[in-house]
Structure 1
Amino acid sequence: MLGKQKRIFNSMFGALVLGAVFSTTAIAAEKSVAITAIVEHPALDAARDGVRDELKDAGFEIEKNLKWDYQSAQGNTGTAAQIARKFVGNRPDAIVAIGTPSAQAVVAATKSIPVVFLAITDPVAAQLVNSWQPSHTNVTGVSDVLELPKQINLIKSIVPGAKRVGIVYNPGEANSVAVVTQLKELLGKSGMTLVGAAAPRTIDVGQAAKSLVGRVDVIYANTDNNVVSAFESLAKVCNDAKIPLIASDTSSVKRGAIAALGINYYDLGRQAGKEVARILKGENPGDIAPAASNTLELFINTAAAQKQGVTLSPELIKSAKTVIK
């Protein structure tokens, strides 16, 4: 009888040990990713979703073996800093930061947790990394930088006689300031001038656009987060004043821009998701060079062109990936 009890005890003990091993393995296999965005708008939301879907394809699925914590700063830099500190305190396996202010807040808050920035036009100007080479720090990421000469060519093809290009931007966003500086120089070489209007907050975008009426021939909207968040107010001013509006974010075309030659932000998110997956599998972020997308898509909105007094050439419409009527 004692021998039988001993065998039962040994079996139960073995099962408990084996269960503990499996439990430990499951816990070890689970990874955590914290993701934050400076604001929610179609482009940044698509980038976030791209990261999530790429991680799923790489074997990291929410509610199975991936803990996913997403928070938006709702356009507030103070909130972005609070989220960054909270995430660092939670010690996730990686933090994805979408938009310049959020990325700057996270990079300032940790030197050890892997950080993958996303949708940052100029990560060097934003002081996230020192160069486009592997950083040898805890930071890497994917940029949405655009070739500005191609943007200028698009402006010329839609408004051939344009001499004065208006731009609404947030002077507190490093990437927007960098674009304004570069665009001013490039337009000058083409015999054109750039006229800027500051919009430090989302609610300032409409008023800033109104200040450009009568002073510009066309308005170009870069990927400034304040501007993209309040794009309808910018489009309304352009419709009312018959000013052609050209964007760099393709999701802004259905919101009132005539055209945009831009990046697919969902694909950009998937590109960043590949970097996150490499990190979750043990790779050092400092060994992964920051990257950018080389794929551009042309979106056209013929209804917006009509509202803003522009006749688009058949050739331009035919060359578009997407035409919104």
Structure 2
Amino acid sequence: MNWLTNVVRPKIRSILKRETPENLWIKCPDSGQLVFYKDVEQNQFVIPGSNYHMRMGAVARLKSIFDNETWFDVALPDVTADPLKFRDERKYVDRIRDARAKTGMNDAVKVGYGRIEGHPAVVAVQDFDFMGGSLGMAAGEAVVTGLELAVEKKSPFIIFAASGGARMQEGILSLMQLPRTTVAIQMLREAKQPYIVVLTNPTTGGVTASYAMLGDVHIAEPGALIGFAGARVIEQTIREKLPEGFQRAEYLRDHGMVDMVVHRHDLRPTLARLCRLLTKAPVSQIQSPVTLPVAPDVEPVTADTPPA
């Protein structure tokens, strides 16, 4: 045994080696600029300089929208984890387990209830990091639950959509969420409460074909990819070259598919203003406390107390 090679050298390497977090730096997909992760995080995941909007997790999104970064987590019903016992290259239950470990979420949609500049609102957020934000039974149930709560509380419902479409591992059960969410949206309309959709990058597939395009007002983040089928599929179908910027937020706004494109830093005041206008809320209602029928031991989620 060569102690210089097998003992001394590895110890020297371990002393000199510096552990560097993988996400210490972020490379801007648009400009190629390297940016310190903490700077991007403090800037609501918008790259300084290029203004490129990175994807934003569900908890970070709720913090950026609700007053004082405080809200009530809305309890969501449990659903069958693997109704079809699906397996492709891996078992579906294994994919679900990995996605839950990665995001800390039970499924792709998280729902919160709180105030936006004093106005009560129910907010649902789709997290693209959870299996591409795909729409399955649990995500559909979360959207429906949020809409029902908005009807009960007589408050606006806001959804941040980010999805690759329906979840193929759940087959027809995933596609059934399209009409289910549509019916729940109709219930909200009958209650005369606003339904506001914020389209983030990307919003595609069955989500675009259902609740993401049924809002009273459609807002998009700059540069967001929004559409049903991919550009390549469309070009192969119509055998024509698509226009520059096709399916991007600015193109859709210019052609009437989106009402406005709003920078992430301006989203909160924009949503608050829309809630006030669409509900004609008196000042007394805006300043009234937000309550939720929960158990006495349930506390509101804050920036210092991460959600369970």
Note whether the superposition's TM-score is higher than 0.5. no
Going by fraction, where is helix more abundant, 1 or 2? 1
Going by fraction, where is strand more abundant, 1 or 2? 1
Flag the structure with larger Rg: 1
Higher RCO structure, 1 or 2 (CA under 8 Å, sep 6+): 1
